[in-house]
Structure 1
Amino acid sequence: MRPSLFQLSPVALLVASVFSTQVQAQNMTIQGLVLDSDGQAIEQARVHVHGRQQYVYADKDGRFTIQAPADSELHISAKGYGDQFIKVSATQTNQLTVQLQAGGLERIVVAASGLHHYDLEMANPVSVLSGEELSRKTEPTIGETLKSLPGVHSNYYGPVAASPILRGLDGPRVRILSNGLDTADVSRIGPDHAISADAITTEQIEVLRGPSTLLYGSGAVGGVVNVVDNRLPRQLRPANTQIETRYGSGADEKTAALAHDGGQEQVAWHFDGFKRKTNDYDVPDFTNDEGENSDKLANSWLDNSAVNGGLSWITDKGLLGFSIGHIDSEYGIPGHHHHAEHEEEHEGEEHEEEEGHQEAGVFARVKQDRYGLAGELYKPFAGVETLSFNSALTRYQHHEIEDGAIGTSFKNDSIESRFTAEHETFAGWHGVVGYHLQNSDYQAIGDEAFTPDTKTDSHALFVLEERSFGEVTAQLGARIEQVQYKASGIEFEHHHDDEAEEQHAAENVKNDFTAGSLSAGLVWNFQPGYNWALSVSRSERAPSAAELYSNGAHIATQTYELGLAYALDDDGEISKSASDIKKEVANNIDLTLRKFEGDFTFTYNLFYNKVDDYLYMQDSGLTMADLDAHEDEGHEEDPDHAHEDEEFAIFQYRQQDATLYGAEFAMAYQLTAEQELELFIDSVRAKLDNGGNLPRIPPVKTGIGYSYSAQDWSASLDWTHYMKQNRIAEGESSTGSYQILDFAFSYYFNLSDLDLTAFAKANNLTDELGFVHSSFIKEDAPLPGRSFTLGLKARF
């Protein structure tokens, strides 16, 4: 049975009933002005109601208006300034005037933290991209947008599909969230599948490095990426509209985006949308693994769009909101192309190129509809501070099309709900308890359907608690999760003749796992502007459905993948495995030192992750041609494709103990009020305990940046160096070093009632040829070459 909105929650009825009987709102309307030490307005300063979701941004004159409960505490922050906490009295009548001192790091509320934590008070390392920095680094994929952050890399399946890698971990070990709930796409099934979330209309992107399993499930042993927008409004905002257009020379990119927020009395609304279109990306001249020369990344075009909207009822008792979103995307898949056809295509006019995309190679057509429902009740009864729920129903469809016909279809219908109760301080402890539900119905049909149809049900209980002991804050958490897989159509014998198929009928298989996770953390503010943070966790992960049941050729990775549920002998015979399937257990230690006040700030992270029964793919030494009774059946109409498939090596999922450790360092120095210098470096070492390295582990990355901010303009210059990676797994090739130089410039001005920003970017100024070690198609997909982007943003 397909999920429906009726399953979202009986809690929604409870919230609605409370709202229907409550009295007129008692929120205060607070007005204020945010200035710097010279009395100049600070535009885009963030004003946040501490411990709640409500926040607004100051306008160009530094003014803000916010609705907040009586006797609340406001947190005022801005990039490049020390922040302030202001207690608001119920009798407050005068306008607030807040002055922020230059220097120090901006504290940012991390929506994915679970307890409204600021990034600088979390035991686990976290990075947040927001505001102008997010706009400057926005790329068509989340992986490429985030790859400059310490500890973050990209698996880069060309510019069209790139997922983030956190400390050497990706795929099912990294949860990609949209406003705290899974994106529910199929990006973790294969690297050629794009993440459905997009950065162009978001407000901030949060990256939690290290195990984040307590709130988000056993799959998050590597970390969490949370894409935060305002599609389901959680605060009343003055009417505000932002329009952005940009053009990029490297792929003839044309992008337009719009976001609008507004509110009146107790109703808040939001709308956003974007349209992006590119041709194939320019790359520096290179020779691919077939000996062909090219200055284009074949089949790397994009044509995608999205619209989102939401409506909320907000009072001093809480909120109730609904959102809806639709994604419609097409993109070429590098590595699936016919080179000659592609070269002929680019000899024609632009419109001929676009019409020829279907002829040039395989492309993906993605559609997703997502419906959200959320509510919060403030102080519903004694002992409970906030009762909340957040739910999403997602229907996702992904077709891969070759020669005008659908070759493979992926579908995923899912529903996810999280219910939490944040209790008031009891015996010194403040925290949240909750229940987390996830159901998905995944189907794959066609040539690349290497994973069977699978229904997944997950139920979990979790608790997060914290308590302050003077300058030390202790954070504790636990989660117990039950995961059940029901896979259909499994054939444990690999034969292709009719007689064998009659003897070995398809089976329905069920697997159950119970995963438990524990964490403990300490944050010690040992002197003003400094803190130490220590986090220790034990996180269990149930294998994903793909790791269990994969059995087929995966064109994207150019391998034949075989899951843990199967056994493979030396003669290429596939049968049902008699071995026990174990949970993956990550034992992680994180140590962080931060300095966050003054002109000189830094963050230093050290981590050590000992993983028992780590799941990875191991080369069996066989190819598809070695499979028992393999006679190329089913490929007669495409003999070239069949021949290529026979050359694919058979990789089988194995379990073995592994160790990952490394360091991340980031610093910023405010040279003057206008000038800032930044430096970062990250590294990760990942190896199997019985010898050998894990595959596709990113190299050491280091970078330096300089920025200048004047009253009417700003500029930045960033240089990033990726070192050579020669610590490689068996069968893997080393990757040379490269460096990328980027430049950005913004000019701020007003035209009538419009607040305008004109910007220009130059990426890879030196036209450096770079290959991404963590990419499955690194020899065929170098990074984009020199590209210039021009854009204009208007706010009114």
Structure 2
Amino acid sequence: MRPSLFQFSPVAMLVVSAFSAQVVAQSITVNGVVLDNDGKAIEQARVHVHGRQQYVYADKNGRFTIQAPAGAELHISAKGYGDQFVTLSNNNELKVQLQSGGVERIVVSASGLHQYDLEMANPVSVLSGEELSRKTAPTIGETLKSMPGVHSNYYGPVASSPILRGLDGPRVRILNNGLDSADVSRIGPDHAISADAITTEQIEVLRGPATLLYGSGAVGGVVNVVDNRLPRQLRPASTQIETRYSSGADEKTAAMTHDGGQDQVAWHLDGFKRKTGNYDVPDFTNDQGESSDQLANSWLNNSAVNGGLSWITDKGLIGFSIGHIDSEYGIPGHHHHHEEQDGHDEHDDDQDEHTEEAVFAKVKQDRYGLAGELYKPFHGIETLSFSSALTRYQHHEIEEGVIGTTFKNDSFESRFTAEHETIAGWHGVFGYHLQQSDYQAIGEEAFTPDTKTDSHALFVLEERSFGDFTAQIGARIEHVDYKATGIEFEHHHEEEEADEHHAEDVKHDFTASSLSAGLVWNFQPGYNAALSISRSERAPSAAELYSNGAHIATRTYELGLAYNLDQDGEISESDIKFKKEVANNIDLTLRKYEGDFTFTYNLFYNKVNNYLHMRDSGLTMADLHSHADEDHDHDHDDHGDHDENGEFSIFHYQQQDATLYGAEFAMAYQLSAEQQLEFFIDSVRAKLDNGGDLPRIPPVKVGTGYSYSAEDWSANIDWTHYMKQNRVAATESATGSYQILDLGFSYYFNLNDLDLTAFAKVNNLTDELGFVHSSFVKEDAPLPGRSFTLGVKARF
């Protein structure tokens, strides 16, 4: 049965009924102004109702209006200023002055307990406001890659996922407003993440295990893309329009967001349209000896529209959202057998028309959201809440105008939580998390079978303060069921047995538990230290269990844990009992967050038992084909012929113990009220305990930046150096160092009732040739060359 938004209707109806039964009371309307210590307005200061997902931003005059219950605590913050907490009284007119210096404290919605980033035991980074706008790229991976501890797997500029401390794929969960993005980006690096940064409000990166709320797929961390598509606060009507043009790929982008509200109804609309050609790159020679100054088949044409409507009172809220994505993009380095047969010279100038030899992806996604919150429904409970998302995802890979492979994923996810009042000094949440998906892959690259997944989990998070110490503990238990169809375990070598192949339906289930404990010590004003210890279990993903076929994106033949492979190329059913990954992680953090000089220093150590990885078997697809006239997955024979008679190496998923450790450091120094200097460095070391390095581990990254902010203009310069990576796995080559220099300039002005920002950027000013070590196609897909961007943002 396909997932349905109404499968979890009993929980939804419970909250809705309780919400409707409340006596609707008016919230207090609070007006205020946020100023600096010289009495000047602070634009875009954030005003947040502590303990709830309600916030607004100050306008160009520093003024704001927010609905909040009497006695609520407001948190006012702005980048480059120390924050303040204000408890509401009968005075509904507020004047708040913030002192310059210090780090803006931001609520992390993915924390589960309305925690601020500077108060969490686990390391977290948040990209928001002008910094998010400045770093926005067509992919989430490229948007976030300059953050400490974050890199990108980079399948060209069109598909790029974040790597957290050397981990990605099924170990890093990509969320949209706390729920899974439900695309197929976790299965292959050439599959783009459906979320986009250009219409978001902030992106949260939780480094290290985040399994308690988000399941075993978050054993390496979480990236949460936060927007306002399902409104959770009443905001004054406002609209923002942005247009930009970039020279490096002839990129044209337009985006719009609108928020509004009247009485107790809030609404939101956003959308964008982006179109690019192939990306210019510095002159390079690929692994086939071909020279070029352009990354072939790297064009992009995507658009999205989202909307939401909510009913909001001081007793709670109920809201609904809907979103639609259309995306087409070329897939760099994605070679097929037709390219060799038909030649390369006839269509070189036709990438915009999706030429015969260009393989491209066509993606559609529809997403429906439903969420509700109920405040103080009965004694002992502060907030009851639920959030659900139903997603229909479809991804075609098209070659010569014909669909070669189709990936589909129909999914439903719902989370129900109850936040309880303080009991014996402990405050926390407990809840239930449901995830269901129906995944299908059809066509010549369907290397993973159709699989239905059901996951049910219970979790609890608790927090308590002891003077200068805050303790945070949590636990989760999760049960995952897989039902895969069309599995062929036996490959017969005799001709007379060739027709006896038959498909089987298989089932596997896992129960994974996770525990976490953290301690934050505010040992001196403006300083804290944090220690986090966790034990997180991860069930193998369906792809890790059942993959069996050529994966063109990784240029390998992938074989899952469920199969046995002998040295003669015989594939059969494995009799080995599958094991869960067990990650034992320690994080130590030191922060200074007040004053002109601030810093964050993280040390981490992650001991993973039964680490799942692909090991080179020493065989190729030719070894499979040489034994049988008719392979179990005969459609892949042509791929083998294309790749020099089947020289795709067979990589077999195996489990071995591994260790990952490293450090992250970031600092900022406010030279004056206008000038700031920043510096960061990160590193990760990842190796198997029995010897050998893990593949595609990012190199050491170091960077520095300088920014100047005047009354009506600002400028920045950022330099990032990626060091040489020569600690490599047996099947990969070392990658040389490179450095990227970026410049930016913004000018702020008003025209009639429009608040305008004109901006200009230069990316990769020196036109440096850089290859990304963590990319599967690093030799064929260098980073973009020098590019100039011009844009305008208008607010009204």
Q: TM-score, normalised by structure 2?
A: 0.97
Comparing 599-608 with 495-504, which one deviates more in the overlay? 495-504
Other-structure match for 2:51: 51
Cα distance, 1:210 vs structure 2: 0.2
Q: Percent identity of the aligned residues?
A: 82
Residue deviations 1:251-297 (CA, integer Å, cap 9, x gap): 00000000000000000000000000000000000000000000010
Q: Is 1:331 aligned with 2:336?
A: no
Matching residue's letter, 2:220: G
What secondary structure is seen at the aligned counterpart in 2 of 1:334?
coil
Which among 487, 491, 497 is matched to residue 488 of structure 2?
491
Structure 2 residue aligned with 1:388, among 374, 385, 388?
Answer: 385
On the 8 A contact 2:250/2:277 being kept in 1, the answer is: yes
| Partner residue in 2 for 1:361 | 358
Which residue number in structure 2 is paired with residue 747 of structure 1? 747
How far 1:645 moved relative to its partner?
A: 6.5
The aligned residue for residue 400 of structure 1 is 397
1:303 matched to 2:312: no
Give the corresponding residue for 1:666. Answer: 666
Q: Distance in 1 between matches of 2:581 and 2:569?
A: 27
| Distance in 1 (alpha carbons) for counterparts of 2:17 and 2:761 | 51
Report which stretch shifted further, 574-583 or 17-26: 17-26
CA RMSD of aligned residues (A): 1.5
Q: Which residue number in structure 1 is paired with residue 698 of structure 2?
A: 698
- Residues 635/235 of structure 1: CA separation in 2 closer, same or farther (3 Å cut): closer
1:190 is matched with which residue?
Answer: 188
CA distance in 2, matches of 1:643, 1:44: 54
Aligned length: 789
Gaps of 5+ in 1: none
Q: Secondary structure at the residue paired with 1:123?
A: coil
Question: Structure 1 490/353 Cα, relative in aligned 2: closer, same or farther at 3 Å?
Answer: closer
Tell me, in whole angstroms, the C-alpha distance in 2 between the residues paired with 1:451 and 1:670.
52
Residues 1:601 and 2:584 aligned together: no
The corresponding residue for 1:283 is 281
Using the TM superposition, give the Cα deviation of residue 641 of structure 1 relative to its aligned residue in structure 2, in angstroms: 5.1
Question: What's the counterpart of residue 105 of structure 2?
Answer: 107
Question: Counterpart of 2:255 in structure 1: which amino acid?
Answer: A
2:519 aligned with 1:528, yes or no? no
Assess, with a 3 A threshold, how the Cα gap between structure 1 residues 181 and 496 changes in structure 2: closer, same or farther.
farther
How far residue 92 of structure 1 moved from its aligned partner, in angstroms, is 2.1
Q: Which amino acid aligns with 2:280?
A: D
Structure 1: distance between partners of 2:236 and 2:645: 58
Partner of 1:92: 91
Contact conserved, 1:635 with 1:642, CA < 8 A, in 2? no
Partner of 2:271: 273
Q: Which moved more, 1:634-643 or 1:739-748?
A: 634-643
Structure 1 residues 525 and 636: CA distance shift in structure 2, 3 A:
closer
For 1:572, the aligned partner's letter is: G
Q: How big is each residue's C-alpha offset from its partner over 1:533-564, in whole Å with a ceiling of 9 and x where there is no partner?
A: 00000000000000000000000000000000
Matched letter for residue 474 of structure 1: A
CA–CA separation in structure 2 for the residues paired with 1:513 and 1:745: 52
Counterpart of 2:400, as a letter, is D
Q: Residue 73 of structure 1 aligns to which amino acid in structure 2?
A: E
Instruction: For 1:576, give the aligned amino acid.
Output: E
Residue 149 of structure 1 is matched in structure 2 by 147
Aligned equivalent of 2:757: 757
Kindly tell me: are residues 456 and 423 of structure 1, through their superposed partners in 2, closer, same or farther at Cα, counting changes over 3 Å? same
Q: What whole-Å deviation, never above 9, does each CA across 1:176-235 have from its counterpart, x for those lacking one?
A: 000000000000100000000000100000000000000000111100000000000000
Q: Write the distance in 2 (CA, Å) between the matches of 1:431 and 1:255.
A: 43
Report deviation, 1:354: 1.6
> For residues 343 and 215 of structure 1, do their structure 2 counterparts lie closer, same or farther at Cα, with a shift above 3 Å needed?
farther
SS of 2:333's partner is strand
- The change in CA–CA distance for 1:343 and 1:108 in structure 2 (over 3 A counts) is farther
Assess, with a 3 A threshold, how the Cα gap between structure 1 residues 233 and 645 changes in structure 2: closer, same or farther: farther
Question: Whole-Å Cα distance in 1 between the matches of residues 497 and 241 of structure 2?
Answer: 61
TM-fit CA distance, 1:501: 4.9
Q: Where does 1:28-47 land on structure 2 (aligned, <5 Å)?
A: 28-47=28-47
Q: Is the 8 A contact 1:43 1:61 kept in 2?
A: yes
Q: Give matches, 1:57-68, under 5 Å.
A: 57-68=57-68
- Residue 457 of structure 1 aligns with which residue? 454
Deviation at residue 636 of structure 1 after TM alignment: 10
The corresponding residue for 1:315 is 313
Contact 2:444 2:636 in 1 (8 A): no
1:356-408 Cα offsets, whole Å, 9 max, x none, are x2324110000000000000000000000000000000000000000110000
Query: Contact conserved, 1:267 with 1:311, CA < 8 A, in 2?
Result: yes
Counterpart contact for 1:414–1:439, Cα < 8 Å: yes
Cα contact 2:550–2:636 (8 A) shared by 1: no
Aligned with 1:374 (options 350, 371, 376) = 371
Q: Could you tell me how far apart the structure 2 residues matched to 1:497 and 1:391 are?
A: 52
Match of 1:162 among 160, 163, 180: 160
Amino acid at match of 2:724: K
Distance apart, 1:353 and its partner CA: 4.3
Of 197, 201, 204, which aligns to 1:203? Answer: 201
Instruction: Find the residue that maps to 2:217 and give its secondary structure.
Output: coil
Cα offset for 1:505?
1.5
2:151 is aligned with 1:171: no
What SS does structure 2 have at the residue aligned with 1:625?
A: helix
Instruction: Tell me how far apart the structure 1 counterparts of residues 49 and 493 of structure 2 sit (CA, whole Å).
Output: 64
* CA deviation profile, 1:667-702 (whole Å, cap 9, x unmatched): 000000000000000000000001000000000000
State the distance in 2 between where 1:229 and 1:685 align.
Answer: 34
Residue in 1 aligned with 2:646?
Answer: 646
1:16 is displaced (CA, Å) by 2.5
Contact map agreement 1:369 1:395 (CA 8 A) in 2: yes
Kept after mapping to 2: 8 A contact 1:451/1:551: yes
In the superposition, relative to structure 1, how do residues 568 and 755 fare at CA in structure 2: closer, same or farther (>3 Å)? Answer: same
CA distance in structure 2 between the aligned counterparts of 1:635 and 1:514, rounded to whole angstroms: 36
Amino acid in the other structure paired with 2:476? R
Give the Cα separation in 2 of the matches to 1:496 and 1:183.
42
Q: Is the 8 A contact 1:48 1:76 kept in 2?
A: yes
The corresponding residue for 1:13 is 13
Q: What is the match of residue 724 of structure 1?
A: 724
Query: Is the CA contact (8 Å cut-off) linking 1:219 and 1:541 kept in structure 2?
Result: yes
Partners of 1:444 and 1:451 within 8 A in 2 = yes
Alignment partner of 1:237: what SS? coil
Supply the distance in 2 between the matched residues of 1:637 and 1:534 (Cα, whole angstroms). 53
Q: Distance in 2 between matches of 1:104 and 1:342?
A: 57
User: TM-score, normalising length from structure 1?
Assistant: 0.97
- Provide Cα deviations, 1:151-176, integer angstroms capped at 9, x if missing partner: 00000000000000000000000000
Task: Give, in whole Å, the separation in 1 of the partners of 2:636 and 2:728.
Answer: 37
C-alpha contact 1:329 1:365 (8 A) present in aligned 2: yes
2:439 corresponds to 1:442: yes
Deviates more, 1:334-343 or 1:41-50: 334-343
Rate the CA distance shift 1:784–1:636 in 2: closer, same or farther, 3 A.
closer
| One-letter identity of the residue aligned with 2:23 | V
Which among 469, 473, 476 is matched to residue 472 of structure 1?
469
Question: 1:509: which partner in 2?
Answer: 506
Q: Which residue of structure 2 aligns with residue 432 of structure 1?
A: 429
Partner of 1:685 in structure 2? 685
For residue 567 of structure 2, the aligned residue among 567, 570, 579 is: 570
Q: 2 CA distance for matches of 1:490 and 1:30?
A: 61
Q: Is the 8 A contact 1:632 1:642 kept in 2?
A: no
**C-alpha displacement of 1:344:** 5.6
Residue 2 (str. 1) matches residue 2 (str. 2): yes
How far did 1:5 drift?
2.0
Distance in 2, Cα, partners of 1:614 & 1:630: 33
Match of 2:624 in 1: 627
The alignment partner of 2:356 has SS state of helix
The amino acid that maps onto 2:91 is: Q
Instruction: Specify whether residues 409 and 641 from structure 1 end up closer, same or farther in structure 2 by C-alpha distance, changes over 3 A only.
Output: farther
Per-residue deviation, 1:6 = 1.6
Q: 1:632 to 1:295 in 2, by over 3 A?
A: farther
Q: 1:418 aligns with which of 412, 415, 418?
A: 415
Q: Does the CA-based 8 Å contact 1:616-1:653 persist in structure 2?
A: yes
Q: Tell me the CA shift for residue 23 of structure 1.
A: 2.5
Shift of 1:74: 0.3
